[in-house]
Structure formats: structure tokens, C-alpha cells
Structure 1
Amino acid sequence: MSSISPFSASLVLITVLALVGMPIGLSMMVGSILYLWMAGLDLGTVAEQFLNGMYSNYVILAVPLFVLAAEFMNIGSMTERLLSFCNLIVGRFRGGLALVNVVQSIIFAGMSGSAIADAAGTGGLMHAMMTKNGRYPSSFAAALTAVTSVIGPIIPPSIPMVIYALVSDASIGYLFLAGMLPGLLMASLQALQIFITASRRNFPVEEAVALREVPKITWQALPALMMPVILLGCIYSGITTPTEAAAIAAGYALLVSTVIYRSISPARFYEALSKSAKTTTTIGMLIAGSLVFNYVVTLENIPDKLRLVMMGWDLGPIGFLIFVNVVLLLFGCVLEGTAILLIIVPVFIPTAQALGIDLVHFGVVVVVNIMLGLVTPPYGLLLFIVAKISGAPMRAIVRDATPFILWMIVSLVIITFVPDLVLWLPRLLGYQG
């Protein structure tokens, strides 16, 4: 009987360790060490790949900085002031508070770049506002918070796009631009579903904001509203790199929350630093493990082997994109998004390049797929977050989220097969792809 190959043994060990609860980043490191040992290679390569990957990729620094910016916004009063401004815009329509949920996600998308930060930061407040006096069912409020939060990493800035740029060498600036219209498309379809549901279920109309209150509310929200303008302006004017812009975002969020809004105490400041450090450590371990495992994948020549297999299938660009969408949607149901970006996606990139698929377009398709995974059972991390916040039954949340998920799939189909929608804005600003 033939012995198991080093790569197969590595995959089995990673799977077993992950199933028994070991963090996937550590599981990949242990599995990679087993591969190198069985293959008779230098075990010190693990440390070499880890150090080279973590310290030679300047773009990785953007991740903890965007996380920190989101934490500073969440502990300050920026959230409440932005929600008041959103209510000023759309609160007067039927289902107005539900529409506020969509609009605030669009605005927060230009600040944090994280769906989890959006849901955790505004989720509790939005849920309390929507369910007050029984205006909206708890499960609907929770489901809406989950599905609108996925807009965050599609409209720039975006932590998943930063990680995709790390594994694909695509331009972060053009990836950010490419996410603008797809994110707005997804938000528009969510708003359409809200109008349909609000009419069918007779959701309330909020009391219109008095005209005399408009200048005050706008003025109070203005410092927070300027954050995405400053952030994206710095990136696209060429003043800063995306990583430097992330540092500016964190500094600006701290400045506004402490000096202008005066809402951060020393204890809350420490809490923000602690939470962002824990989140960054989790992401960092995952990146480190994937860098080592991707070295193993490269040694085994998996990307080229997969490319040759797919060429043999004669899929073509359209068939390949359909295949990738199906695979990523399935993996999204059981794996965390960052793990998919770092483990699964790099295997597809050589084939996408060989088929002439633009890597910026491909990156947006990948990120939208991963965002869908955050709201699809059984894993659906955002579903667990909003269930914890709301206390609503998971079954009811999934039921109310399903129409929105279907619209998100429609968005994905459009984004996949109409690349000009994705690439129009980058090309307008000089992209040659």
C-alpha cells in the first residue's frame, strides 16, 4: 500500500486541527511544518516565509489601522450623530428607519472597511431604535443590520480588498474605486426590498424632522461625514498611500471623538486599543499561517496544476467565473472570509490571468462572494453577531434575511457578467485594465 503524500498528510492534519478547535492560522502552520518534515526540507523555512511575508508587505499595516479607526468611531459619539443625519435624509419614508440602516452602512463603508465593525458598532443602537415600541420585529431589525453591514467592505476602504491586493498584487487604489458602484448597486437593491417589505407589512413612517433642526443635525454630523472625504481624497490625490491613509483615518477618528465630540474617556480609549489589538492579532495569525501554507502550495505547484485542469475543461472566462462563484459561495457557508482570501483565492489567480480576466474585476467578484458568506448559514458570522445583539431566534433572522440575500446574489450576477460596471470608475481615473 502506497504511503500518503506529504501534501495530503498536511491537508488532513490542518482539517483535523481546525475541526477540534485550533485557530486556522495555527493549524496551517502545523500542517506546513509536517509537510516540510515529510518532504525532507528545512523546517526553518516556516519562520523565513512568515518573517518575509509579514515584514516585506507594507500593505498589511493598513489592516490594523483600519481596525483601530473603526474602534475609535464605535466608542465615540460619531455613530449617534451619523444615524441622526441618516434619519434626516430617509426617515420620512415608510420603513424609514430600515432605510436609515442602509444609508448609515453606506456612510460607515467610507470609514471602517469592515462588515463586522459596522454590525458590532451600530448594530445595537440600530436594533434598539427599530424595535422601540414594537415598530419593527426584532428578527427583521437584526437581519437588516446583518445584510446592510456587508456593504462596508465593498465600498472603499475595504480590509478584504487590502488582503486581496496582498495575494494578487492588484492595485489597492483601483480596487477601492472598483467597489464603489457595486456597493451602491447592492445598497439600492436592499432599499428596493425594504420598500416592498414596508408596504406589505405596513411598517411605520417616522415623524419628519423639523426644518429648523436640519442645520443643527447636519453641522453636528459634519466632522464625521468628512472622514471618508479626507480618507479617499488622500488616496486618490496621490498625497498618501492607502496604508498611510489608514493611519490618517485612525488619527482623524480619535481627534473628532476626543476634541470635537469629547466622548472618549481614558478607559474607553484603552478598550478601543485592546479590542483592535485582539482583532489584529487574530487576522495577523491567519495571514501568517496562510503565507507559510501558500509556500507549500507553491512547492506542490497547485496553481499551475489547477490551471491546466481548468484549461482541459475548456471553461472559458464566463465558465470560469461561474465556477469560482459557486466554489466561493459554498466555502463561504463554512469558512471565515479572510481564510478564503488567503487560502482558496490564490489558487484561482493564475487561471484568471491566463484567461484574460482583469484582476481588479476578479477581486471585486471575490470580495462580494465573501461578503455573502458572512450572512449565509450555517457559518454566517454576521448572523451570529446580530443574534447575540438582538436575542432574536436564528431561524427568524435567517427567514427575514433571505429576500435580501437573494437580491445580493442578483448583484453578484450583475457584477460578475458586466465587468464594465466594476471597471468604469477606475478607467475614468486612469486604470488601463
Structure 2
Amino acid sequence: MSLTSPFSLTIIAIIALSFLGLPIGHAMIASSIFYLLLAGLDMGTAAEQILNGMYTNYILLAVPLFILAAELMNIGSMTDRLMVFCNAIVGRFRGGLAYVNIVQSIIFAGMSGSAIADAAGSGKMMQQLMTKDGKYPASYAAALTAVTAVIGPIIPPSIPMVIYALVSDASIGYLFLGGVIPGLLMALAQMGIVFFDARRLNFPVEKPTPVRDLPRITWEALPSLMMPVVLLGGIYSGVTTPTEAAAVAAAYALLISVVLYRSVSFGDFYRSVLASARTTASIGMLIAGALIFNYVVTVENIPQTVAAVLKAWDLSPTGFLILVNVILLILGCLLEGTTILLVVVPVLIPTARVLGLDVVHFGIMVVVNIMIGLITPPYGLLLFIMTRIAEVPLRDLVRDVLPFLWAMIGALVLITFFPGLVLWLPRLFGYQG
């Protein structure tokens, strides 16, 4: 392909505009319109692709609703009560607060679907608890908070899985089920590092919660603990679609916070809606840019070209999975996860189908890769978020993240080469793939 071809100039324009500081979504929209101009195509196609993609995909409504649910939990006392419950369960062990950090992320994962929401909400609270009175080094607490936040979009619900379903036509329900065991496996890998570090660094043992207090603590946290049950129960019982379940989750979080816990003022609610709208708008611009850029990719037959190149390499399914993992781990160091899902993954899916790979297994592997990218230097979005929250140097944070990163890559290897870890639960619920 010539460097002066319309497609090559489009790629150059996207990179140039991004380096100049334009958000990637805006850069893709502007550059794709530039392609239509160079290729002599109707420039109104850009608006047509964006409008058709945005307004005919009912599934996209789940994204702002899951974001709103997470915001409502953060402003209410749901997160506080969950934290007390987690501390009562695992806080009594050496390094107890570190285990609490992991367990609360597992529970919170069943509510928000967003790693950033986890880190900015319950993660910020854990950072304060762990560093109080110098119990844990600030950089270690920040590193652990960053890596535990990664669990959020792997255990259902998951905003990245919603976006993957959009580009692959895979079932959201089965994707959600497929993420449960991999998410728990990632948490187990993190707990293994904490177990080793707790003894090596002599982490403190928290005061154990009296057994007689456990029923009361559990009862107070029960409404919060029931949210994943309400959310996932509605999906898998067939009562609600995933998008309707997201609306139920947001309504349930509001109901519990306002009526039962009485911990949300009108001002808090307004700010949470505003924050949700801003986050949704940024994701929406990315999706809009990807929709028109994917049209350009389709016109240029890029997926077929990539498939032909890979076929010429005579890759086996295993070889293809290794190649995809390497590509996604490298891209995760440099690009934002949603961009990878919307721009890169659609090019890989046709080849995965031709090789007979299961689309749900492939999707979970992709999402895990992208989540690991959130804590991988140099870009790692969660690393930058935690340096601001914890006010620690990036180099110290990266040093403490690396052992967890290697452990999570080890878990990714198991997820990649043992599809049964992903597909066991979906098949239990009738998945035929």
C-alpha cells in the first residue's frame, strides 16, 4: 500500500492529530471524513454511519447506565458497607487490608463494570485505609489498588464486554458468564503475590472482627451485596436484557442509597449524573469515531487482507492466539482500551472465526489483555490515575505493580490455552459454542 494512498494518509492524519492533542475519537472522525474526500465518496456517509451505529444499537444504552450505577454507589454508603463486610471476612489475616482490597474489587466488579470507576471510588477509599498510620507503603497500596481495579471489567457486568459484543455480535449474557472464572483467577493470582509480600514485608495484622458482629455487618451490607444478584439474575433468568439490567442496576443503586441508607442529597445526585454524562460523552465520541473509521477499514478490505496475510503464514489456532496476545499486550502499553476494542479487534475477529476459535473465549481473552494494558507502563491509564490519587512517583508505583503484572500475565496464559476456564459456565447455561 502506497504512503500516498487515501488509507495511508488517513492513518497518518489520525496519528498526527492525536500527537497534537486532539482526542482519539475526534481524530478518527476528522481523518475518516478526510478519507471520504480523497476517495471521492459521499462525505455524508460519515454522518450516516455514526447515526445508524449509534441509534440502531440498543446494546450501547448499557454503557451510560452501568457508569451511572457506579457513580450512584460511590456517592451513597453502599461502598462503605461493603468495605466493612470485606474487612470482617478477610481482615484478620496478615496483610488483611491488602486482601480486603482484592475482595472488595471482586464484589464491586459485580456492580460497576468499569475499572476506572472501581479505582476512583472504592479504590480511593482503600488507598486511604491502607496508608493510614503508615500501615502500608503508599506506592504498594496504590499498586494493589490499580491491579485490583482491573478485575472490575472481567467479572460481570463489564463495559468492555458490551463494546466487544457490539463489534463481534457475540452474546453479552454468555460473555458475562465467561468472565466469572477468569476474573476469580486474576484475583487468586493477586492474592498469591499479597501472601508472599505480607510475610516478606511483615505487613500488619488487623484487629479481628468479633464473630458476634458478623450477622449485623452482613445484614447491613446485604442490600449492597444483592445488587449483583438482581443484575445478573435478571439477565440469566430471561426477565431482562443486559441493557434493561443496566437500567435496573442504576435504579436499584439509587433506591438503596436514597431510601434505605438515606445517604444521598440532591446535590450528590446531580453531580453523579453530570459525571456519568461526561464519561459517557467521552466514550460516545470514541464509538462514533470507530464507527466511521471501521467503515473506512471495510471499504479498504483490511480484515480480508489481514486474514489473507495470516493464512499465508499458515498459523495454527494456538499460534494465532499467541500472536494476538503479543499484539494486544504491546498495544495496551500505548493505546486506550476502548480504542483497541473498536479499531483493532474487529480486524482480528474474522480470522479467529476462520480458525474455528470460539468468539466468547476469544472475547474474554481480548478483554483480559486490554485490562492488563491499563496497568502496563508506559501508558497504563490506571497508573496515572493512582499516581494522582496516592500522590506517589510513577517509578515507585511501577516497581510495585510489576510482580502483580507478571502474575496476571500468567493467569492470562491459562485463560488463553485452557478455553474450558472461560466456557464452562456459559455451557452450563446452554451455550452451544
Q: TM-score range by the shorter chain?
A: over 0.9
Deviations 1:174-198 (A, max 9, x none): 0000000000011011111101000
Alignment of 1:23-422 (within 5 A): 23-422=23-422
Deviations 1:349-390 (A, max 9, x none): 000000000000000000000001100111111011111111
User: SS of the residue aligned with 2:94?
Assistant: coil
Residues 90, 96 of structure 1: 8 Å contact kept: yes
Provide structure 1 residue ranges, at least 5 long, that are not aligned to the other structure. Answer: none
Residues 373, 380 of structure 2: 8 Å contact kept: yes
Residues 193, 403 of structure 2: 8 Å contact kept: yes
Letter matched to residue 32 of structure 1: S
- By how many angstroms is 1:392 displaced? 1.2
**Where in structure 1 do 4 or more consecutive aligned residues deviate above 4 Å?**
none
- 1:19 corresponds to which residue? 19
Letter matched to residue 52 of structure 2: N
Report the RMSD for the aligned CA atoms in angstroms. Answer: 0.8
Residues 179, 422 of structure 1: 8 Å contact kept: yes
Letter matched to residue 17 of structure 2: L
**CA separation in 2, counterparts of 1:134 and 1:28?**
46
Deviations 1:324-371 (A, max 9, x none): 001011110010000000000000000000000000000000000000
Deviations 1:210-259 (A, max 9, x none): 22221221111011000000000000000000000000000000001111
Residues 333, 377 of structure 2: 8 Å contact kept: yes
Residues 294, 343 of structure 1: 8 Å contact kept: yes
**CA separation in 1, counterparts of 2:26 and 2:394?**
30
**CA separation in 1, counterparts of 2:223 and 2:122?**
18
**CA separation in 1, counterparts of 2:241 and 2:198?**
43
**CA separation in 2, counterparts of 1:124 and 1:69?**
17
**CA separation in 1, counterparts of 2:156 and 2:3?**
49
**CA separation in 2, counterparts of 1:78 and 1:40?**
55
- By how many angstroms is 1:304 displaced? 0.4
User: SS of the residue aligned with 2:121?
Assistant: helix
Residues 162, 172 of structure 2: 8 Å contact kept: yes
**CA separation in 2, counterparts of 1:3 and 1:344?**
20
Letter matched to residue 422 of structure 2: V
Tell which deviates more after alignment, 204-213 or 316-325.
Answer: 204-213
**CA separation in 2, counterparts of 1:39 and 1:187?**
49
**CA separation in 1, counterparts of 2:263 and 2:384?**
29
Residues 170, 359 of structure 2: 8 Å contact kept: yes
- By how many angstroms is 1:76 displaced? 0.6
**CA separation in 1, counterparts of 2:54 and 2:125?**
37
Letter matched to residue 96 of structure 2: G
Residues 287, 342 of structure 1: 8 Å contact kept: yes
Residues 101, 123 of structure 2: 8 Å contact kept: no
**CA separation in 1, counterparts of 2:428 and 2:362?**
18
**CA separation in 1, counterparts of 2:155 and 2:124?**
22
- By how many angstroms is 1:171 displaced? 0.4
Provide structure 2 residue ranges, at least 5 long, that are not aligned to the other structure. Answer: none
Letter matched to residue 272 of structure 2: A
- 2:426 corresponds to which residue? 426
Taking structure 2 as the reference length, the TM-score comes to: 0.99
**CA separation in 2, counterparts of 1:23 and 1:418?**
38
Letter matched to residue 283 of structure 1: I
Letter matched to residue 171 of structure 1: S
**CA separation in 1, counterparts of 2:128 and 2:13?**
44
Residues 69, 253 of structure 1: 8 Å contact kept: yes
Taking structure 1 as the reference length, the TM-score comes to: 0.99
- By how many angstroms is 1:393 displaced? 1.2
- By how many angstroms is 1:3 displaced? 7.4
Letter matched to residue 50 of structure 1: I
- By how many angstroms is 1:316 displaced? 1.1
**CA separation in 2, counterparts of 1:383 and 1:267?**
30
Letter matched to residue 238 of structure 1: G
**CA separation in 2, counterparts of 1:381 and 1:254?**
28
Letter matched to residue 313 of structure 1: W
**CA separation in 1, counterparts of 2:235 and 2:402?**
36
Task: Tell me: CA distance 1:204–1:3, structure 2 relative to 1, closer, same or farther (3 Å).
Answer: closer
Residues 123, 389 of structure 1: 8 Å contact kept: no
Residues 35, 296 of structure 2: 8 Å contact kept: yes
Letter matched to residue 128 of structure 1: Q
